[in-house]
Amino acid sequence: MVTMIFKEIYNRLIGDMLILCCVLAILCMGLFTACNPTVEAHTDNVTIDIEVEQVSAGFAHVNFSTTKKAFYLTGIHPVRENINPQKVAKQFMLLALDSAYVEYLYWRNQQLQQLTPFVADFASHSLQYGDAQQFFTLLHPATDYWVYAFVVDANANKPTGKLFITTITTDSVSQMAVNFEYRIKGDWEYVYPKDSMGEIISNIPWVGELVDSMVMREQGWNSPREYFLSRFEDVYSGSYDHILYGIYAHENNVSDNGTPVTKFEIGRTYYKGMAVLDAPLTHPLDTNAYDVYRFTWLGDTTEYYFTPIDCKGGEW
């Protein structure tokens, strides 16, 4: 009798476990289907629409959309005279994809060296899927560029289908007039790029850095302006790539010798420099392109609003 009861319990448990496994399998299939776009990725008869939203002296805002769900690569390249990309479309796409893959491998190696626990695969890191918008930055004024897109077989890492391409021309002079509103509350700093009407601008690339005054003096800089100009020019040399858009918030709670993650210390003076990346920045800086703020940290949580100093010149 006891044996029969145990058998019945055992059979019920096995049955419940089978039902549970089936339910979990169905749920997992649904999750993987929803989260993994590769099951719906097309490679044939896909059209990519390229809509240029905005072109300025140093950047372009472009929208991309596809007629079918597909992985595709987007990019920008200076126009080369006497070359028709459509006539060498296959070679053009292969070189563009190889370049993107090399950039991905470089990024992946950096992440692995920093012991990042998860590293994205090439498709999720470098390819677009569905509607997308791209901000192409660090462009040069009065220059023709090709903006292109093409479908990629993510499983084989090979281009497929047609090359979709359009030509844009950047402005010769920056037309952007941006005012950076900067404030501090507690250990947090906030930046609001605004236009002449006081509206927040969310689609213009900019760069900023917070530096301890003592650190700049110890490094021998003649003025904060000289320091920030050097740092902003580094952006175009590729040695500094922390490009931001719209509102920025950052908690300064880590000591790191006066870098952008400086921890505020009572009685110390700090400078914050911010510049619009709408063309290479040269000396003298256009006052519409940058702001320099100065403040002394008092160690409390009062909310402050600071104004640019020295007519935005950044002198000591």
Whether residues 301 and 200 fall in one domain: yes
**Per-residue model confidence as pLDDT tens digits over 164-215:** 999 999 999 887 778 888 888 877 889 999 888 889 988 888 888 888 888 8
Residues 199, 268: one domain?
yes
- Domain boundaries, position 11: 2-35
pLDDT over 90 (residue 100): yes
Across the chain, mean pLDDT equals 79
* Per-residue pLDDT at 220 exceeds 50: yes
Do the Cβ atoms of 161 and 150 come closer than 8 Å?
yes
Write out pLDDT tens, residues 25-50.
Answer: 333 333 333 335 445 788 999 999 99
In a domain, 23, yes or no: yes
Q: Do 192 and 90 share a structural domain?
A: no
The residue with tokens 């597909």 is: 70
Phi-psi category of residue 93: left, alpha or beta, with phi > 0 → left and psi -120 to 50 → alpha: alpha
Whether the pLDDT of residue 314 is over 80: the answer is no
Q: What pLDDT score was predicted for residue 195?
A: 85
pTM confidence score = 0.72
69 with 108, same domain: the answer is: yes
Domain assignment of residue 24, yes or no: yes
Domain count within the chain: 3
Which residue, 127, 148, 169, sits at the end of a domain? 169
Rg (CA), the chain: 26
